[in-house]
Amino acid sequence: MKEFVINVSPLETRIALIEDKRLVELLIERQESRSVVGNIYKGRVDSIVPGIQAAFIDIGFEKNGFLYVSDIAGAEGTGDFDFEEGTIKPRGSSRRGRPPSIESLLKKNQHIMVQVSKDMLGTKGVRLTNYVTLPGRYVVLMPTVKHLGVSRKIGDDKERDRLRKILQSVRPPGTGLILRTAGEDKKKADFQDDVRYLSLVWNGIKDKMETARSASMLHADLNPILRIVRDMFTSDIEKMSIDDEAEYKRILEFLDQFAPSLKTRVKHYNQSRPIFDKFGIEKEIEKALNRKVYLKSGGYICIDQTEALIAIDVNTGRFTGTKHLEETVFRVNLEAAEEIARQVRLRDLGGIIVIDFIDMAIEKNKRELIKHLQACLKHDRAKTTISEISELGMIEMTRKRVKHNLIKALSQPCPYCEGGGMVRSVTTMTFDTLRRLHSLFCASKEKRVILQVHPDVARRLRTENKDMLDAIAQDFEREVAVESVSDFHIHDVKMLSAKSRQEVSAK
């Protein structure tokens, strides 16, 4: 069973996808940081960087977007294209050989039409493409390339051939079309309606391109709720529940035009209990922010994120299983593979992911584990690739990164550990404080010093390490008073003059 649960508030919209009563995907869009993926702009080439074959484009944002040469229509010929996450990209190199350089395609201050393919990630500006896509309910119009394609999720060869012939007959001259999964088993009239509407939208965008001033928006994609309805609300979704009456009516109006048969599956949730509480989603979100995820068997996985990659470690935990170690390990690994596939989707983890499964000796079990992981990842809309198990028992995989993952979207670096995930121990800080005090006495003539430290460090200086503190004071013939400051960071140390209570240092 699949269903959508949508929570709308003045500050943010949250859309949850539930499969078999478990949360598998979560989209959060806040008013202060709305996604601009899919929006089309008239941009100005601000600078060209031949070294990386990219251009920085001013589209009116605080930070310029960047456009790679491979994302410029005409640079890659008319090869094959993939439709992923609302954008298209050439697959492989041009049939005409090496693509031209970016300097031959763009000039500084030139105006160009671009579409956002990725939101800002960290310090990077938005990623842009010149391959414009206009998604409809059943087809995607590609005005800048001549290409016909059918969703790879439609597997029946006869159906694919039928759909290709229909696409060929409804395609506007000089454009491309990709048929979406929702178009399976649909009639020619359904596609004609889609193409007619999208062609009108494209003509409007072209007109605006001619008259608009530089660095301005030409077309905005749908809001996140209607995007989900357009892109994912298909016949395999049993229900969509939403707690906002205005958005509920907007969905029904949208479906009136594009998919009237699905209107009965949309429900307005109007109970007093918050919708995410009712469906148990709040607790699932809380768990998704934890480093450790427990498995039903008693095993667990640990998920750690670094700048370069994501590391996932599988552990047996309390699970002892049968008398045979290999069988126990195999069962935990299979269960972990299912949970990893879910967590990758839920947390929207992207980039390089390294999974350290528990070592297995039997080759057949290793092959079965890879097959199982691949099967679990088939439901993931993002593109993934999986390697074989290495000699060290690890699997490397990549997953297309489009936006901030869940932890980065809902969290910020800890000001206490500054994103390191660790702080210095009490012992380390106690010894460090004593060294600082020694340095101060070497450089300063202060006779009486007040030492302000974290309460745990103060306790150590008054008990276990009091003799070391006293020895330093006697060696330099000084007096030291220790003050405990409750709101100090464990790393904070202040040395004050007892006479003026002004801070003194060894510098």
Residue 84: pLDDT above 80?
no
Strands 292-294 and 300-305: antiparallel
pLDDT for res 321: 57
Residue 152: pLDDT above 60?
yes
pLDDT for res 381: 83
pLDDT for res 356: 94
Stretch 110-138: mean pLDDT, rounded? 89
pLDDT for res 416: 76
- Comparing 244-248, 303-307, 364-368, 390-394, the range with the smallest average pLDDT is 390-394
DSSP 121: B
pLDDT for res 379: 86
Q: Which residues of 124-142 are buried (b: 16+ CB within 10 A; e: fewer)?
A: ebbbbbbbbbbbbbbbbbb
Length of the chain: 507
Q: Give the pLDDT band (50/70/90) at residue 473.
A: very high
Please identify which residue in the block is written with the tokens 């391959």: 131
Is residue 17 a contact partner of residue 24, using CB atoms and an 8 Å limit?
A: yes
Q: Give the pLDDT band (50/70/90) at residue 87.
A: very low
DSSP labels, 16-60? EEEETTEEEEEEEEEGGG---TT-EEEEEEEEEEGGGTEEEEESS
Show Cβ contacts of residue 481 under 8 Å, excluding neighbours closer than 6 positions. 448, 449, 450, 451, 498
For the chain, give the percent of residues with pLDDT over 70: 93
Helices 157-170 and 188-211 sit at what angle, rounded to 10 degrees? 50
Q: Which residues of 233-261 are buried (b: 16+ CB within 10 A; e: fewer)?
A: bbeebeebbbbbeebbebbeebbeebbee
Distance CA 489, CA 245 (A): 47
Other CB atoms closer than 10 Å to residue 492's CB: what's the count? 13
Q: How far is CA 132 from the centre of its chain?
A: 23
Residue 58: pLDDT above 90?
yes
Please identify which residue in the block is written with the tokens 């095993």: 299
For the chain, give the percent of residues with pLDDT over 90: 61
Please identify which residue in the block is written with the tokens 């000089």: 174
Residue 169: pLDDT above 90?
yes
Residue 322: pLDDT above 80?
no
Stretch 263-284: mean pLDDT, rounded? 94
Stretch 117-123: mean pLDDT, rounded? 81
pLDDT for res 383: 85
What's the whole-number average pLDDT of the chain? 88
Q: Name the region of 393 (left: φ>0; alpha: ψ -120 to 50; beta: rest).
A: left
Which tokens belong to 53?
């074959």
pTM of the full predicted structure? 0.79
pLDDT for res 307: 76
DSSP labels, 176-209? EEEE-GGGTT--HHHHHHHHHHHHHHHHHHHHHH
Residue 507: pLDDT above 80?
no
pLDDT for res 303: 94
Strand partners, 450: 481, 496
Q: Quick check: helix, strand or coil at residue 93?
A: coil
Q: How far is CA 61 from the centre of its chain?
A: 21
Distance CA 57, CA 111 (A): 9
- Comparing 92-101, 106-115, 159-168, 476-485, the range with the smallest average pLDDT is 92-101
Q: Give the pLDDT band (50/70/90) at residue 89.
A: low
- Comparing 91-105, 203-217, 222-236, 442-456, the range with the smallest average pLDDT is 91-105
pLDDT for res 320: 62
Residue 31: pLDDT above 90?
no
Stretch 64-70: mean pLDDT, rounded? 92
Other CB atoms closer than 10 Å to residue 371's CB: what's the count? 11
DSSP 317: T
Stretch 428-448: mean pLDDT, rounded? 93
Query: Phi/psi of residue 171, each to 5°?
Result: -70, 130
Query: Phi/psi of residue 14, each to 5°?
Result: -125, 130
Q: Give the pLDDT band (50/70/90) at residue 177.
A: very high
Please, what's the largest Cα pairwise distance for the chain? 97
